[in-house]
Amino acid sequence: MAFLRVVEVLPPLFRMSSRDLRGADADVRRFTSDVRKFRRYADIVLVANVKDQKVLKLDTVHLASTLQEALGVASAPVIVVRDQNRPQFLTSVLTALLGGAGSVMVAWGDDYPGGTASNVRDFESLAGALAEAASLRRVARPDATLLAPVNVERLSEPRELALAEKRLAAGADLLLAQPPTTDAEVTFERHLALLEKAGLREKVLLNVFPFMGRSDVSRYERKFGWRLPARLHDAARGGRAPLLEAERAVVRRIRRERLPGVYLSTRGDISLARDVLS
């Protein structure tokens, strides 16, 4: 069985100013150049959808197509269901498939904070959106891979397990896990046990999320509501080096256990793909 490396990259972001927007073309060229340097560490480059109302970003489908055309690298856009109405969502999926995307990730999307923007509620569930995307795939590109998220920590809960099963039944081929697997012993063993009990061992890519230090760990706990283990906080006191070794150890363990692959978040620095996966 092939080992799949899904490497998530952040798109270029722009502020709504003439200075930022005049440099947008150069930023996209730098983005493409950075992916070119480290593409050998990724089987799929996943173009993340950043939710920040203070910045502008290019459409993920456009960026994935740009990477595919310029580099020949397998690229997948993240398409957020609740950012678009049904016709727009299906248009995005179809555009991605016909534009050559070998993979598409369909995500539900968080609520917009502060009341300055509104979510769209044309779909009752992520599974419903996936089912319609899968119908398009059957016609437009049957060999494309559909990806969707899963909360691996909650798979012991009947509701989360049911959500995962519905997403797979609707057409998702693989589920990308959150929160991250932060060490190759305790956290990995827990996540592996949860996958095996749920019968999802072959369907979930565990996540590796590089942390830079102690304050970084705390910041992302607050940002995403993760409950990260004490041993990660202990390792983070030593700075980046012990954290990097822990991340590499997780990847080695994933390979050793013959899981289907790994989902690496690069947080806007694709060189982390080389650091963690080499």
Categorize the per-residue pLDDT at 110 as very low, low, confident or very high, splitting at 50, 70 and 90.
confident
CA–CA separation, 95 and 138 (whole Å): 14
Above 90 in pLDDT, residue 78?
yes
Above 80 in pLDDT, residue 1?
no
CA–CA separation, 45 and 147 (whole Å): 12
Above 70 in pLDDT, residue 149?
yes
Q: Which domain holds residue 117?
A: 4-277
Q: What is the pLDDT of residue 27?
A: 87
pTM: 0.94
Above 90 in pLDDT, residue 264?
yes
> At 166, which CATH number?
3.20.20.220
Categorize the per-residue pLDDT at 100 as very low, low, confident or very high, splitting at 50, 70 and 90.
confident
Farthest-apart Cα atoms in the chain, separation: 54
213-217: long-range contacts at Cβ-Cβ below 8 A with a sequence spacing of 24 or more? Answer: 213/239, 213/240, 213/243
Task: Give the mean pLDDT of 243-254.
Answer: 97
Q: Which of 12-16, 125-129, 163-167, 188-192 has the lowest mean pLDDT?
A: 12-16
Q: What is the pLDDT of residue 15?
A: 76
Kindly report the average pLDDT of the chain as a whole number. Answer: 93
Query: Are 209 and 265 within 8 A, CB to CB?
Result: yes
Q: Which of 45-59, 126-140, 152-166, 173-187 has the lowest mean pLDDT?
A: 45-59
CA–CA separation, 12 and 125 (whole Å): 29
CA–CA separation, 62 and 225 (whole Å): 31
Question: What total of structural domains would you count in the chain?
Answer: 1
Above 90 in pLDDT, residue 13?
no
What separation in angstroms does the CA of 56 have from each of 2, 71, 85, 189, 190?
37, 24, 20, 40, 39
31-38: long-range contacts at Cβ-Cβ below 8 A with a sequence spacing of 24 or more? Answer: 31/63, 32/66, 32/67, 32/70, 32/71, 34/270, 34/271, 35/9, 35/67, 35/71, 35/73, 35/270, 36/70, 36/71, 37/270, 37/271, 38/7, 38/270, 38/271, 38/273, 38/274
Query: What are 15-24's pLDDT values in tens digits?
Result: 766 566 777 8
Query: What are 204-231's pLDDT values in tens digits?
Result: 999 999 999 999 999 999 988 898 999 8
